[in-house]
Amino acid sequence: MVNQILKAPEGPPSDVEGIKERSNYLRGTLKEVMLDRISAGIPEDDNRLMKHHGSYLQDDRDLRNERAKQKLEPAYQFMLRVRLPGGVASPEQWLVMDELADKYGNGTLKLTTRETFQMHGILKWNMKSTIQSIHNALMDTIAACGDVNRNVMCSSNPDQSELHSEVYEWSKKLSNDLLPRTRAYHEIWLDEEKVAGTPEIDEVEPMYGPLYLPRKFKIGIAVPPGNDIDIFSQDLGFIAIVEDNKLVGFNVAIGGGMGMSHGDNATYPQLAKVIGFCKPHQLYEIAEKTITIQRDYGNRSVRKNARFKYTVDRLGLETVKAELEHRLGWKLDEAKPFHFDHNGDRYGWVKGVKGKWHFTLFIEGGRVADFDDYKLKTGLREIAKIHTGDFHLTGNQNVIIANVSTQKKKKINELIEQYGLTDGRHYSALRRSSMACVALPTCGLAMAEAERYLPSLINKIETIVDENGLTDKEITIRMTGCPNGCARHALGEIGFIGKAPGKYNMYLGAAHDGSRLSKMYRENIGEVEILNELRVLLSRYAKEREEGEHFGDFVIRAEIIKATTDGTNFHD
Amino acid sequence: MQLQVLNSPFNQEQAELLNRILPTLTESQKVWLSGFLAAAQFSSVSGPGNVQTAELPSGNTAQAISKDVTILFGSQTGNAQGLAKTAAKKLEENGFQVTIQSMSDFKPNNLKKIHNLLIVTSTHGEGTPPDNALSFHEYLHGKRAPKLDELRFSVLALGDSSYEFFCQTGKDLDTRLGELGGTRLYPRFDCDLDYDEPASEWLSGVLSSLNEAGGGTHVSEEAPSSQIGDAVYSRTNPFKAEVLENINLNGRGSNKETRHLELSLEGSGLTFEPGDSLGIYPENDPALVQLLLDEMNWDPEQIVTVNKKGDVLPLKDALVSHYEITTLTKPLLEKAALLSGSEKLQELVSAGNEDQLKGYLDGRDLLDLLRDFTPWIGSVQEIVSILRKMPSRLYSISSSLTANPDEVHLTIGAVRFNAHGRERKGVCSIQAAERLQPGDTVSIYIQHNDNFKLPNNPETPIIMVGPGTGAAPFRSFMQEREETCAKGKTWMFFGDQHFVTDFLYQTEWQKWLNNGVLTKMDVAFSRDTAEKVYVQHRMIEQSKELFEWLQAGAHLYICGDEKHMAHDVHHTLIKIIEKEGGLSREQAEEYLAEMQQQKRYQRDVY
Ligand code: SRM
Ligand SMILES: Cc1cc2nc3c(=O)[nH]c(=O)nc-3n(C[C@H](O)[C@H](O)[C@H](O)COP(=O)(O)OP(=O)(O)OC[C@H]3O[C@@H](n4cnc5c(N)ncnc54)[C@H](O)[C@@H]3O)c2cc1C
Ligand SMILES: Cc1cc2nc3c(=O)[nH]c(=O)nc-3n(C[C@H](O)[C@H](O)[C@H](O)COP(=O)(O)O)c2cc1C
Ligand code: SF4
């Protein structure tokens, strides 16, 4: 029953609320419109629902104007996001995705900042076959997007592989248990027969209800000292607490998120805050109750302010904690001490337990493709063919070839060499600490390039870095094509947000371990200014930095930028 | 009184004839005759309007009958029809009473009543009759064909000597009429694409023999002008239209290139209706001409005479704009053999080697000919003189004048292919694809096509089958129906290779579907799926509803590829009618033939 003291914001429900309400549990008219042959697109309402099935209608923005002239509709195509809890995929699953990308997609795979696969460029008529192939490979795309709980992330830190597998199991369980219950997905994509009669509302979606959540909801589990999943950017984060190599439980953090809108200070990135500690078996209960709080009090009127972080800031951290404990019927323990030291990945070979090896490979922009001089996709395919362990997709858009037996290690290493997967070009410290979101040409919200541009920008920054002897210094650099922050720009020591083609806002001052947000340093600047600024900043850093001082901390100590102490003062 | 050669303008034979007839005439007949002669005299100067002759009591005297001429034409794209009209005009000017009809409108059993028959017909398909000649052709060759001993006839056949069955339909009809007992009042003429000269020659020939036999009044001298319609501009006097827009309709990555061309008709006075075609006189690719000149090391500036009239041009211009240099024909090779010292060529054109010859012609051009059969003993002038005049290319108009006043739009598929180790380019389509820029001009004329018209009744439903460039006239239909707020239901079948890149005019069809101008659309993209799907497969899927539309009186139109599509669709239609109408195959064919008769089944295929 809903606590009466608290209230959701007043105001008429947003358009999306209406669409969800009319959708009969995410069905809408998807079945029909997917069959229409006159357009490769689908109506906006159905596209809203489509997201809950893990897909988006997009168009190739490079071709928009050209095609309009040619009297052709936009080059409509679907993006498909796999639900891959903890980012773990078997070699068989990798091979399926690899093949689907060529067969139905644009020939590439995108390893996302939430540890999963994305395909781009799927035509409407191929969506069903694609989803069915994914289903046959024991994966799905349910709730990979939409106003529901998203892919549950989990640290892929290979140094503690025994812990990883334990934590991974928890993330998988969370992801599965928090799935929507509607059969819409199975009916539309997997030809499941519709069961007659309409069950009671609370039977269909006991937790979500007919309107689902006001907005997306994200959960991640981090294993210190690695913060590769940026635990503080999650709506709900669990920090694994390990005592003499045993997982004793998790600190609970709530209310994080990266997104904002240009020129709207009521929107801001925010960090999740730790509110206590729980035992492993209490994870699901906490997640479920937290989600129902957001369900009941989240803003369903203004989507821009609908994320849980705004609910928490509006109601107050303590109130939300109290409400949570009220719904749980028990109190959280005192949070336990923990320590993060980085939010990047550690590359190359490391030896885990039980004689298993792990190789972390940097994937620039998370894009797995065959380039003229770098057959990355083929190389990984060849590895997948002989690999007996698994693949871990990381929160930094990279991949770990994990659990390699000693005897396989040699062969895999040969393939790595053969395909130049260790090629130095892909390995300067700055580059391997970089992330870029998809942006153009597929992302409908992009205002500027990101994935396609950052590599060339880094080429130029690298020369500055080299000049200043910082070649081996890890500085996280992140670029997004718009303020939504899909590459968690606000947690990059150097951050860029697209403003307009070729123009970016530049951010500084985030912590290297993901515990402090950045702040805007320069607005609306192009490449030349960017390089000029960095030339000055990096040479100062080279000369003036203290022992082991990270760039993000340096710019604050040197009073180049003011520290952001909370999302609410991000814009100050 | 007796007429004599001395006291009259008549020759011996005429005088005798008159002397035999005049005494037998009643008063009334004398009166009539004088009036008749006066009128005939009058009409021969002032053109048509020979009132009295029109009032001729039928089945009258020898002269009267002999002045009755029926002209039947079989025409797909209007050339034969145009010539038939010209002939009618000329004959009327010469005092004949002319009935001119499309073969499909003519009641074949009236054939026995006819004494003078002129046939003007083209050939289409692979030597098959144009649609509106089909039934007549079939009737003549069938059992019901009557004996025609009374009949005097002559055939003017239009064709294209680059086709294997040159002027086949004309030849068929000519032979058959002969077999049925008819006598040729003038021998058949087979015309190639540049038919104006031979056609007027045939006409004069026909006239004089009609006159000899039928005693018509004097043959007027002035050559017939093949200008029909109100515009001063015509096929023989093309208008230079400015290119307003020229875009490729195929998206990136397509195997196809389809140009959307917008031309200005401003100041031309040219008008057209949906379903009409536009003729373009293209220019050869200057690069190809250069190759020819180099090959023969001919002097580009050398002056050559390009026609009987004696017009002259510098060789280069003649090859670019006047002659056809990309297609070889049997007659051309036969003439060339006389100018070449090559045994091989003599061999090739000699009897018994028809198949090799046919094989050689396919996909080869003048450059191949000149390279393959050296040495050339003929002069430049002799060699160019055997070339055909550059034929115009026809394009189904894809716009409506009501919707786009003073403009005409075309939808042109680029023709590129590799043959015999060389990239070949379609003359007109590649001029459009690679050379025509907005601001340039092209020589054009309107080719009216009565055989491809929207129903007069705007309420009548229409079914349009137009894959690829076949969609062109239906864009014009849609624009027209939108402008005129026609209420009739409309159903479009479109197809091409790939949805993403080849859905020609996609956004326009979508607009028409949304605003209701287009009721229904089905598309088939052959290369998007494992098994190829074409428009006819979509028609089968919809066979029930499609037949309901036909039963409700819908007109059905097919436009586009002749060789494969049109045939497959035709047979699919028969299947559908057979299945849904519960008819036998023969009955189904009847049904379709009947639709054709009623002009409810029209085709614009190429
Ligand atoms: C693929 C991915 C970026 C990448 O390069 O990896 C991505 C791509 C998109 N994100 Fe994101 N987001 C991705 C991680 C994120 C993250 C990072 C994270 O979750 O750790 C964030 C910031 C954290 C957060 O949620 O605050 C993020 C915040 C957004 C937002 C802003 C949400 C907000 O409430 O502020 C949007 C826009 C929206 O939801 O309206 C968005 C929307 C989108 C869409 C679907 C654009 C759209 O809505 O039309 C992008 C699809 C582009 C394309 O062509 O693929 N994406 N997006 C990431 C997929 C993650 C996954 O597998 O689920
Ligand atoms: C009534 C009518 C309407 C028409 N409407 C349209 C229209 O709307 N749109 C349109 O695009 N066309 C239309 N056409 C066809 C058009 O008139 C031309 O025939 C076409 O554009 C080719 O002309 P071209 O000068 O480019 O090619 P040409 O120089 O005339 O060459 C074409 C010739 O090349 C040869 N050829 C082509 N491909 C190959 C091959 N693969 N191998 C060997 N030989 C080959 C064939 O002999 C073909 O006839 C229509 C034709 C007619 C009669
Ligand atoms: C699709 C098509 C097929 C043709 N097939 C032949 C043919 O087999 N034999 C021939 O002599 N001419 C053929 N022709 C040439 C026409 O007979 C010639 O263009 C004629 O001038 C058309 O006259 P019309 O407009 O009265 O139909 C063909 C023309 C087209 C467009
Ligand atoms: S950050 Fe913006 S541009 Fe980049 S993927 Fe996300 S929504 Fe698109």
For chain B, say whether A410 makes contact (Cβ under 8 Å): no
Residues of B in contact with A39 (CB under 8 A): 510
What is the per-residue pLDDT for A516?
A: 98
How many whole angstroms separate alpha carbon A75 and alpha carbon A59? 5
Which residues does residue A371 pair with via DSSP β-bridges, in sequence order? A374
Q: Does the pLDDT at position B1 exceed 90?
A: no
**What percent of chain A is modeled with pLDDT above 90?**
89
The residue assigned the tokens 């949906």 is B274
Q: Does the pLDDT at position A27 exceed 60?
A: yes
Q: Does the pLDDT at position A197 exceed 60?
A: yes
Q: What is the pTM of this model?
A: 0.85
Interchain pair B251, A40: CB under 8 A: no
Interchain pair A75, B251: CB under 8 A: yes
What is the per-residue pLDDT for A354?
A: 81
Ligand 1 centroid–CA A484 distance in Å is: 7
Compare CB distances from B248 to A37, A40, A70 and report the shortest one's residue. A70
Q: pLDDT digits over A260-312, tens only?
A: 999 899 999 999 999 999 999 999 999 999 999 999 999 999 999 999 999 99
Compare CB distances from B507 to A40, A72, A123 and report the shortest one's residue. A72
The residue assigned the tokens 């800031």 is A313
Which residues, 6 or more positions from B82, have their beta carbon under 8 angstroms from its beta carbon?
B75, B226, B228, B235
What is the per-residue pLDDT for B222?
A: 45
What is the per-residue pLDDT for A465?
A: 95
Yes or no: say if B593 and B131 are a contact pair by the CB < 8 Å rule.
no
How many whole angstroms separate alpha carbon A521 and alpha carbon A542? 19
Q: pLDDT digits over A443-459, tens only?
A: 999 999 999 999 999 99
What is the per-residue pLDDT for A5?
A: 73
| Catalytic site includes residue A278 | no
Which ligand has its closest atom nearest to the C-alpha of A84? 1
Check residue A381 and give left, alpha or beta (phi > 0: left; psi -120 to 50: alpha): alpha
| Catalytic site includes residue A482 | yes
Residues of A in contact with B510 (CB under 8 A): 38-39, 73
Which ligand has its closest atom nearest to the C-alpha of B78? 3
Tokens describing residue B143: 């059992």
What is the per-residue pLDDT for B361?
A: 96
Q: Does the pLDDT at position B35 exceed 80?
A: no
Regarding the beta carbon of A305 and ligand 1, being less than 6 Å apart is answered no
Q: pLDDT digits over B423-449, tens only?
A: 999 999 999 999 999 999 999 999 999
- pLDDT, mean over chain B: 90
Ligand 2 centroid–CA B472 distance in Å is: 14
Task: Over range B359-364, report the average pLDDT.
Answer: 96
Our CA dihedral for A101, A105, A107, A110, rounded to 10 degrees, sits at -70
What is the per-residue pLDDT for A424?
A: 52
Nearest ligand 2 atom, CA B410: 8
Q: pLDDT digits over A298-332, tens only?
A: 999 999 999 999 999 999 999 999 999 999 999 99
Which residues, 6 or more positions from A428, have their beta carbon under 8 angstroms from its beta carbon?
A458, A462, A465, A471
Q: How far, in Å, are A80, A277, B241 from residue B409 at the CA level?
A: 41, 74, 12
Which residue's alpha carbon is nearest to atom 17 within ligand 1? Answer: A486
Chain B residues with a Cβ under 8 Å from any Cβ in chain A = 247-252, 260, 499-501, 503-510, 513, 521-523, 528-529
Q: pLDDT digits over B126-163, tens only?
A: 899 998 999 899 999 988 889 999 999 999 999 999 88
- What residue of A is the nearest CA neighbor of B250? A70
For chain B, say whether A122 makes contact (Cβ under 8 Å): no
Q: pLDDT digits over A361-387, tens only?
A: 999 999 999 999 999 999 999 999 999
How many whole angstroms separate alpha carbon A12 and alpha carbon A510? 37
Amino acid at site A449: E
The residue assigned the tokens 């005097």 is B152
C-alpha closest to that of B499 among A107, A97, A126, A128: A126
Regarding the beta carbon of A109 and ligand 4, being less than 6 Å apart is answered no
pLDDT band at A198 (very low <50, low <70, confident <90, very high): low
Q: Are strands A503-508 and A348-351 parallel, antiparallel or unpaired?
A: unpaired
Q: How far, in Å, are B173, B332, B382 from residue B297 at the CA level?
A: 47, 21, 16
Q: How far, in Å, are A382, A460, A542, A560, B376 from residue A532 at the CA level?
A: 43, 11, 16, 15, 73
What is the per-residue pLDDT for B308?
A: 86
What is the per-residue pLDDT for A423?
A: 57
Task: Over range A211-229, report the average pLDDT.
Answer: 96
A:B CB pairs within 8 Å = 47
C-alpha closest to that of B575 among B526, B540, B525: B540
What is the per-residue pLDDT for B227?
A: 42
How many whole angstroms separate alpha carbon B418 and alpha carbon B425? 9
